[in-house]
């Protein structure tokens, strides 16, 4: 966690991307993680596994603490050591953009992904 200290000041674009990924892992709207957890927990409740959905929600809530801790270090702590400046090459930047889009688009427009998922299920 200490390695993320000050990232928000030194590399704000990378810090914002990391924040989006952490929000998605936590299942916060409007991210793909929210859509995934919503359907997972809804399916568990629908099949009668309410206890499993409750455990999943509690686990997700507990994980938020760890994700917020990383965010606090990124935006509210000074770096403990000098940053090693790494140049973000074009392929890495493109991969980062694709990953951020993949984390956000399903949460903003879930119908796009759900249509493909329903077609895939029909093929099974």
Q: What's the whole-model pTM score?
A: 0.85
pLDDT score, position 103: 94
Instruction: Identify which of 19, 23, 41 has the alpha carbon closest to the alpha carbon of residue 32.
Output: 23
Domain ranges of the chain: 2-123
Give buried/exposed letters for 41-54 (b at 16+ CB in 10 A, else e).
Answer: beebeeeeeeeebe
Per-residue pLDDT tens digits for 3-26: 888 888 888 899 999 999 999 999
As a whole-number percent, the residues of the chain with pLDDT over 90 amount to 65
Which spans in the chain are helix H? 7-10, 12-26, 32-46, 50-76, 90-108, 110-123
Q: Residues 77-80: contacts with CB within 8 Å, 24+ apart?
A: 77/5, 77/6, 78/5, 78/6, 79/5, 79/6, 79/9, 79/10, 80/2, 80/5
pLDDT at 115: 87
C-alpha of 65 from chain center: 14
Is the model's pLDDT at 28 over the cut of 90? yes
pLDDT in tens, 46-80: 999 999 999 999 999 999 999 999 999 999 998 87
Question: Residue 45 contacts by C-beta under 8 Å, 6 or more apart in sequence?
Answer: 53
């Amino acid at each position: 966690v200490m390695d993320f200290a000050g990232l928000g000041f030194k590399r704000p674009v990378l810090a914002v991307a990391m924040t989006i990924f952490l929000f998605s892992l936590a299942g916060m709207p409007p991210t793909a993680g929210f859509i995934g957890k919503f359907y997972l927990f809804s399916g568990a409740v629908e099949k009668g596994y309410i206890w499993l959905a409750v455990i999943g929600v509690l686990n997700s809530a507990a994980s938020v603490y760890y994700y917020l801790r990383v965010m606090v270090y990124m935006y509210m702590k000074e770096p403990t050591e000098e940053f090693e400046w790494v140049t973000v090459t074009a392929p890495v930047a493109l991969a980062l953009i694709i990953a951020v889009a993949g984390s956000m688009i399903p949460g903003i427009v879930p119908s796009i992904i759900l249509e493909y998922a329903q077609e895939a299920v029909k093929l099974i």
